[in-house]
Amino acid sequence: MIYRRIVKPLTDRILALLGLVALAPFLVLLWIAIAVRMGTPVLFRQTRIGLMDRPFEFVKFRTMTDARNGRGELLPDAERLTALGQFLRSTSLDEFPQLWNVVKGDMSLVGPRPLLPEYLPRYSAEQRRRHHAMPGITGWAQVNGRNGLPWEDKFRHDVWYVDNCTAGLDLRILMMTVLAVFRRRGISQQGQATALPFMGSPAGKDSSQEGGT
């Protein structure tokens, strides 16, 4: 399909590069604020899984400190998440560095969110089809509940997007993302500072139903 293979990647890179240039002064201010309030490094880097199971280095602004207990172990997320970090998460400002991932060709503006390598053996065959699309900064699951959704529902939305990706759907998702950011809903799972890790789906759980609404 011409849109998925040529038009979408080229458009993504152009828009991401323009976004980085336009937002540069604001990103510098965020960089300084994070360095002052949480220290360095300012960027959080982590290996994530992209298109066709390929790993890449994912970046975002850090939102938590490196506070540890007396045994040298990191404290729970809720204790390390700062007020500034919570603000960055709730407004999705922590995601802005991923525009560089888009410019590099590791990510798209729209697609399933890139997840951790250790999740690969936990997916069902149907859930793993989410990697048949380039991972995105935002996606169909993000505008339909974000981290407030159970993992199975997020994966169902991701697979639905893989099967239904068009220019019109991508534009719709981008517009819905703006609204979702202003509403600040689904930032984390109920009662959690961050999303719980995916440990695998219950046996027999079907994630292949349509994720559209």
The per-residue pLDDT for 166 is 96
Q: Is the pLDDT of residue 184 over 80?
A: no
Each residue of 144-153: b (16+ CB within 10 Å) or e? bbbbebebbb
Please tell me the distance from the alpha carbon of residue 108 to that of residue 125, in angstroms, as a whole number. 23
Average pLDDT, rounded, for the chain: 88
Confidence (pLDDT) at 189:
53
Q: Do residues 34 and 42 lie in contact, with contact meaning Cβ atoms separated by under 8 Å?
A: yes
Which pLDDT score, from 0 to 100, does residue 73 have? 84
Q: Which residues contact 38 (CB under 8 A, 6 or more apart)?
A: 62, 63, 64, 65, 82, 84, 85
- Which phi and psi (to 5°) does residue 212 adopt? -80, 155
For residue 80, give both structure tokens.
Answer: 């390390």
Find out whether 41 and 57 touch, Cβ atoms under 8 Å: no
The CA distance from 94 to 87, in Å, is 9
pTM over the 0.75 mark: yes
Compute how many other C-beta atoms are within 10 angstroms of the C-beta atom of residue 62.
23
For 189-209, what is the mean pLDDT? 62
Q: Tell me, what amino acid is at 160?
A: W
The CA-atom distances, in angstroms, between 101 and each of 48, 123, 156, 173 are 11, 24, 25, 19
Instruction: Compute and round to an integer the Cα radius of gyration of the chain.
Output: 17
* Mean pLDDT computed over 141-155: 89
| 12-35 average pLDDT score | 96
- Res 60 pLDDT > 60: yes
Range with lowest mean pLDDT among 29-38, 42-51, 76-85, 178-187: 178-187
Residues 108-117 have a mean pLDDT of 97
Q: Which residues pair with 133 in a beta bridge?
A: none
At 70, the pLDDT band (50, 70, 90 cuts) reads confident
